[in-house]
Structure 1
């Protein structure tokens, strides 16, 4: 097993070993999921985005400024859900590591599957806030858990920074002939592309299946979960205590 890991490390382009949960394919899969969730809540569950909270904080400040306290209190719900998702994922990651069975990263992806099944089973008449807050919570945990894509800091639930990094690193790659910048702009650009694909896929399914459309992302989650679980139980079993990059 140790020889297998060492061989994998030597074969890596950067002569570095990356855990399976840090690989490109994982981040591509998860940002596709992030794009899917965002389009789903906007198309089928209340016309809001669940991926990040910048817009909700802006709306909160506007509500407070205009004295609309009812709306301000309402907006605190998704913001608080996002806040609690980060706290819970940070807490559980430490707890889970002690058991040396599966990584928290793997468990989180597996946890998303039954949640998505339940959300898709809700009737269209169910309050949209149930789905919105639940996905806020999940997106926060996913954002806080998956932090670096083979050594490159990245988010899997929104693309604002990916757009900035693509432009910034493209200039450095062309102007300075920087090979690291060349890799970075391509990787950040690919994240934007997969996010778009997730959003397009979600939109098409929502138009055809309405609230049941969320089930369409289950194959991606299931595939990701199975591959991560195999890594945890076989060739990375001895590395379950190793902390992914970006975490202390």
Structure 2
């Protein structure tokens, strides 16, 4: 099993989605009502607050939007053939960058200014969702839930009407799990941010490290099984 296949496991998707919900709650509760991942929310609040004359608060939603676009640009560059010889696993690079950034933010070594913290989180979270795009063979997103929830409901109906479809119900369970994990991550993030403020980010770091370790275990297990099969031939 290679890195890409291992990163598609249910367990890895659950931990990544928990961290996605966590980070949205962290920035919203602890840093002025701004979303880290949910750009739809940021755009809606930007429009509402601009219309009501809340210029300062409206301006807070612009940096994460810029960071989101910049992250899309960076991931596109990493996937170009020109970078392939030097960066064999761009998803791994993005995950490690996210872990390092959040650990630095949690430790307070860079201060707690929203000027860099919120767009920084938006940037690394976008790297995550663009790098880890599937649960098993099913496309999903680990840092927002609208698409996951919509497709989970659609798959559930396809699995029951007009006839029983085991594959559709399996897909519905995967997307439903992702939707629930995002909710659970937001719940945990809101609660711990109120208690620990920026130190709450250590929980997000632990989730991402656990996802990385799980990927490594799956890769190693598959390599051992392959080696045993070759030795037995």
Q: Answer yes or no: same fold by TM over 0.5.
A: yes
Retained in 2: the 8 A contact 1:81–1:137?
A: yes
Partner residue, 2:29: 43
Partner residue, 2:226: none
Question: Does structure 1 residue 22 correspond to structure 2 residue 8?
Answer: yes
* Alignment counterpart, residue 211 of structure 1, candidates 189, 194, 198: 198
Partner residue, 1:148: 134
Question: Does structure 1 residue 177 correspond to structure 2 residue 171?
Answer: no
CA–CA distance in structure 1, aligned partners of residues 60 and 191 of structure 2 = 30
CA–CA distance in structure 2, aligned partners of residues 235 and 50 of structure 1 = 35
Following superposition of structure 1 onto structure 2, how do residues 91-130 of structure 1 map, counting pairs within 5 Å? Answer: 91-94=77-80, 97-99=84-86, 103-122=89-108, 126-130=112-116
Q: Please state how far the C-alpha of 1:60 moved relative to its aligned partner.
A: 3.6
CA–CA distance in structure 2, aligned partners of residues 198 and 63 of structure 1 = 27
- The Cα offsets for residues 61-97 of structure 1, whole Å up to 9 and x where unpaired, read as 4466678777666543221110011110121234653
Retained in 2: the 8 A contact 1:106–1:228?
A: no
TM-score (norm 2): 0.81
Task: State the SS of the aligned residue for 1:19.
Answer: helix
Following superposition of structure 1 onto structure 2, how do residues 56-75 of structure 1 map, counting pairs within 5 Å? Answer: 56-62=42-48, 74-75=60-61
* Alignment counterpart, residue 208 of structure 2, candidates 221, 224, 227: 221
CA–CA distance in structure 1, aligned partners of residues 180 and 113 of structure 2 = 32
Residue segments in structure 2 that go unaligned for 5+ positions in a row: 224-233
Partner residue, 1:160: 146
Total equivalences in the alignment: 220
Residue segments in structure 1 that go unaligned for 5+ positions in a row: 9-17, 237-248
Task: State the SS of the aligned residue for 2:7.
Answer: helix
Retained in 2: the 8 A contact 1:45–1:131?
A: no
Q: CA 1:99 to 1:124, structure 2 compared with 1: closer, same or farther past 3 Å?
A: closer
* Alignment counterpart, residue 41 of structure 2, candidates 33, 40, 55: 55
Q: CA 1:134 to 1:182, structure 2 compared with 1: closer, same or farther past 3 Å?
A: same
Q: Please state how far the C-alpha of 1:226 moved relative to its aligned partner.
A: 3.2
TM-score (norm 1): 0.76
Tell me how large the CA RMSD over aligned residues is.
3.0
Q: Please state how far the C-alpha of 1:166 moved relative to its aligned partner.
A: 1.8
